[in-house]
Structure 1
Amino acid sequence: MTDLERWAAVAGCQQAIHGFYLALDGGDFDAVAACMADRGIWHRQGRTLQGPAEVRQALSDRPAGRTTAHLVQNLVIDLEAPDRASARYMTLVYRVDAPAVPAGPVPLPPPLSISLHHERLSRSLDGRWLVEEKRGQRRFGD
């Protein structure tokens, strides 16, 4: 693997992770599900979700008035092979649950949590980086 190929793979993994959270915070659950490998696993809120369909279903259960912001920090990508990588990063999460979909900005709450995440990614045949396994552990928050 050349340096250029290595940096392109690292950038692709970073984009996959940031794209996941941008879609999640935007309520685009089809796009979130599309970030998962066919048998990808997301350990989420005490449940193990496997594959895009289970992820999409779990997210469809979120309250309609929920607004979130997941700020990804300290992102480190380790390439294990040209088509496999692992990632470590922190998220700072804000959340507001309103009775209905907000018409504009919501009030800024205190942070909900800071979590440490570990992720495994693989490159698909079409070149996209997909989540094979996603796991987070709260460091701060209730």
Structure 2
Amino acid sequence: MSLPENGSVEFALTLLLNRFFVYLDDRKYDELIRLFAANGVWHRQGVTLEGPSKILDALQARPADLTTRHLLTNVVPVVESADSVQAVMYITVFADNGPQQPSPLPMALPLQVGVYRARFVLIDEWRIAELRGDPTFRRADR
């Protein structure tokens, strides 16, 4: 595809990825799992989660006192065909496991910076077929 044809696809998938991380941070898990294909896979923290129900189970097990913010940058989608796209992006993660307190929380260094890779499929709309994150940097004290 030429750039004018796939520019809107690249924008749509960047927006989908932004939604994914906002839903994750805001604990909107029902909305997050709807971003996956029915057989979507998330390779998360060394575990392969297959299908929205397994993904939802893992997310609901997150500690209640965990506050996260995932900063998504350098998104590079590559259109492979009319219904298949891959993307690579950087994620910077801030996390706090303290008791809930009024905002803003005290700020520490990021927990990690990593490279994520995603594959998308066009079904009724674009969905995540596979998502994988690999830390490049991680704080030594965590």
Q: TM-score, normalized by length of structure 2?
A: 0.91
Do the aligned partners of 1:113 and 1:139 also contact (CA within 8 Å) in 2?
yes
How far is the alpha carbon of 1:124 from its aligned partner?
2.0
Structure 2: state its 5+ residue gaps.
none
Do the aligned partners of 1:25 and 1:68 also contact (CA within 8 Å) in 2?
yes
Please name the residue that 1:131 is paired with.
Answer: 128
How far is the alpha carbon of 1:72 from its aligned partner?
0.7
Q: How many residues align?
A: 139
Please name the residue that 2:120 is paired with.
Answer: 121
What one-letter code is carried by the residue in structure 2 that aligns with 1:119? A
Does residue 1:17 correspond to 2:14, yes or no?
no
Runs of 4+ in 1 over 4 A off after TM superposition: 1-4
SS in 2 for 1:20: helix
2: CA distance, partners of 1:33 / 1:119: 15
- Which moved further from structure 2: 60-69 or 102-111? 102-111
SS in 2 for 1:24: helix
Q: TM-score, normalized by length of structure 1?
A: 0.91
What one-letter code is carried by the residue in structure 2 that aligns with 1:96? D
Do the aligned partners of 1:41 and 1:50 also contact (CA within 8 Å) in 2?
yes
2: CA distance, partners of 1:3 / 1:73: 20
- Which moved further from structure 2: 3-12 or 22-31? 3-12
Provide the alpha-carbon RMSD of the alignment.
Answer: 1.4
Please name the residue that 2:67 is paired with.
Answer: 67
2: CA distance, partners of 1:88 / 1:117: 6
Please name the residue that 2:90 is paired with.
Answer: 90
Do the aligned partners of 1:9 and 1:82 also contact (CA within 8 Å) in 2?
no
What one-letter code is carried by the residue in structure 2 that aligns with 1:33? I
% identical equivalent positions: 31
1: CA distance, partners of 2:101 / 2:31: 21
